[in-house]
Amino acid sequence: MLLGIDIGNTNVEFGFIEKEIISFKISSNQNKSSDEWIFDLLSIHNFSSINKSEIKDVVISSVVPQLSEKIKLACQKFYNRDPKIIGEDLEYPIKINYENPQEVGADRIVNSVAALKLVKPPIVVIDLGTAITFDVINEKGEYEGGAIFPGIDSSVSALFSKTAKLPKVNIQETISVIGKSTQKSIQSGIFYGYVSLIEGIVKRIKNELQKEPNIILTGGHSEIITKGLAINHKVEKELIMLGIKEIYLWNKDKIDWFKTIKYFF
């Protein structure tokens, strides 16, 4: 069994990858010691009934370097395995057409690798996490770049911190754009505002590509926002874990990965 670990700014996701994926999320507390992360791993295994001896390899995708070393050390102690970090120990099986490839967050490339296993390029991957990222894979299966926008939770927190009288609301689908109360107006603005953002940026990306891209949504709010989108798309909540698995397998076998995935199209 492969343990994939996605270290993000809000959460750390631990995914036990075999035929199926079983995932657990823990808050990205940078003040924790490696021993405290060991306790979290122990708790996850006790809850899931997965024996730690089943873990044969550990692969980490991280955008928080301060946490990477602590969690890597925790895994070394707990599993007696040396975790591999994507972008350092493991190479990407995809060409990156960025001005400085080192600037691209590992999560964005990992998502793109996974997307190429699911649909034919060109592709736009939209990750609705702490930030909303739009990642574009061109017709050749190369990573082109994308766009980054403040995430839903960040925007909502900013709204409430600056406006004393506005009530805090849950993010949810709304039927009408025109809210009949302050609460419903805020919910409408958040829901349809982000739906319109996604549809608008996808339209502009399509115009630049001059091709109709396949669209994949992932991330914490994808299952809410998908309800309002008027564009063809699919939702894959475990996209990052699928990408971790593909990068691990490619590095293990060093196959001509992109030629291989074309057989899926």
Same domain, 115 and 242: yes
> Between the CA of residue 79 and those of 18, 21, 72, 159, 223, what are the distances in Å?
17, 19, 10, 43, 34
- AA letter at 219: G
Indicate whether 92 belongs to any domain.
no
Residue 195: CA atoms inside 13 Å, Cβ hemisphere, count? 22
Same domain, 58 and 114: no
Segments forming the whole domain that contains residue 6: 2-85
Structure-token pair, residue 118: 């699911």
CB 42 within 8 A of CB 78: yes
Number of H helices and number of E strands within the chain?
8, 10
Indicate whether 96 belongs to any domain.
no
pTM metric for this prediction: 0.89
Indicate whether 234 belongs to any domain.
yes
- Do strands 2-7 and 57-62 pair parallel, antiparallel, or not at all (unpaired)? parallel
- Residue 256's pLDDT band, with cuts at 50, 70 and 90, is low
Query: How far is C-alpha 31 from the chain's CA centre?
Result: 23
Q: Does residue 107 have an active-site annotation?
A: yes
What pLDDT score was predicted for residue 95?
96
Q: Tens of pLDDT along 8-48?
A: 999 999 999 998 999 999 999 999 999 999 999 999 999 99
Same domain, 203 and 174: yes
- Residue 259's pLDDT band, with cuts at 50, 70 and 90, is low
Same domain, 76 and 117: no
**Among 61, 85, 109, residue at a domain's last position:** 85
pLDDT at 218 > cutoff 90? yes
Structure-token pair, residue 260: 């291989």
**Among 85, 119, 145, residue at a domain's last position:** 85
What pLDDT score was predicted for residue 170?
76
Give how many domains the chain has, as a whole number: 2
- Residue 122's pLDDT band, with cuts at 50, 70 and 90, is very high
CA–CA separation, 113 vs 184, rounded Å? 38
Indicate whether 182 belongs to any domain.
yes
Top-confidence residue, 259 or 149: 149
Same domain, 22 and 111: no
Average pLDDT on 98-119 reads 96
Identify the CATH number of the domain in which residue 64 sits: 3.30.420.40
pLDDT at 202 > cutoff 60? yes
Indicate whether 196 belongs to any domain.
yes
Catalytic: which of 6, 107, 127, 135?
107
Same domain, 81 and 108: no
